[in-house]
Amino acid sequence: MRFDVFSLFPSVIQPYLEISILQRAIQNGLLEVHLHDIRSFTTDKHHITDDAPFGGGGGMVMKPEPIFTAVESVLGSPPSCPVILLTPQGRTYTQQVAAELARYPHLALLCGRYEGIDERVREHLVTDEISIGDYVLTGGELPALILIDSITRLIPGVLGDPDGAQDDSFASGLLEYPHYTRPAEFRGWRVPEVLLSGNHAEIARWRRQQALLRTWKRRPDLLEKTELSDSDRRFLASLIKPENDTPTSS
């Protein structure tokens, strides 16, 4: 999969690509990330990429000319792949959106800065807008990295465990179950015996119920959108007990 990232500060992104899973994906030919400095596509000697907004107001606005020139110089006109603007005004990013975007072989990510970008970029160049949450950052570089990281995990062959991404939180609509590793006992705290039993059916059942329990406690809103089996529903019903009862988790 290929990403083309357009930014005023591409050097912010590069270090993250040089470690761990993303680095291995690049080395193994599963991922390409091309960084483009929007400033290098300006035509004036000062490389100006922003200006004051028409109508007044605080802040500066990214100019349309350098953005259009950058994207079209790299991707053609019209662009040869979806162009995603990272903005608080976009649709909310979820694991399901990541899976949707992972089906594309090529994506372009446009990182905003300052007060925003000229509206003509949204209207005539951008094909999608993504928000990583209801808060505002200084620029789109961190959101771009979030998209690259989360989408790359879904590319076949990137993770060592071929089913690893399927167990992640939100992949199934639920939060992920708890994990344990050696030692089996630490400071008197024991790993749940079922995980030491070797009974894979019971382990799978325990993990599913733990995922349901954790989601019920922390993000009950997710349960309304998740496909549940009859056994899932029975387990969730068992959690709704009188105050003096303790919810079961097995």
Section 149-172 average pLDDT:
78
Across the chain, mean pLDDT equals 92
pTM for this one? 0.85
Identify the active-site residue in 115, 129, 149, 202: 115
Identify the active-site residue in 168, 176, 202, 232: 168
Kindly tell me if the per-residue pLDDT of 48 is higher than 80. yes
Query: Is position 88 annotated as part of the catalytic site?
Result: yes
Residue intervals of the chain classified under CATH 3.40.1280.10 are 2-154
Report the candidate in 106, 122, 110, 119 with the shortest Cα–Cα distance to residue 84: 110
Neighbours of 54 (CB within 10 A): 8
Kindly tell me if the per-residue pLDDT of 250 is higher than 50. no
- Top CATH class of 185-240 equals mainly alpha
DSSP lists the bridge partners of residue 106 as: 2
Q: Is 137 annotated as a binding residue?
A: yes
**97-101, 120-124, 228-232, 244-248: range with lowest mean pLDDT:** 244-248
Residue intervals of the chain classified under CATH 1.10.1270.20 are 185-240
Query: Is position 163 annotated as part of the catalytic site?
Result: no
Identify the active-site residue in 88, 113, 118, 143: 88
Neighbours of 250 (CB within 10 A): 12
- The kind and range of the H/E element at 149 are helix 141-152
**40-49, 151-160, 238-247: range with lowest mean pLDDT:** 238-247
pLDDT, position 173? 86
Q: Is 104 annotated as a binding residue?
A: no
- CATH number for the region 2-154 comes to 3.40.1280.10
pLDDT, position 150? 97
Section 171-184 average pLDDT:
88
pLDDT tier for residue 170 given thresholds of 50, 70 and 90: low
157 burial class (0-12, 13-18, 19+ CB within 10 angstroms)? Answer: exposed
Section 168-187 average pLDDT:
84
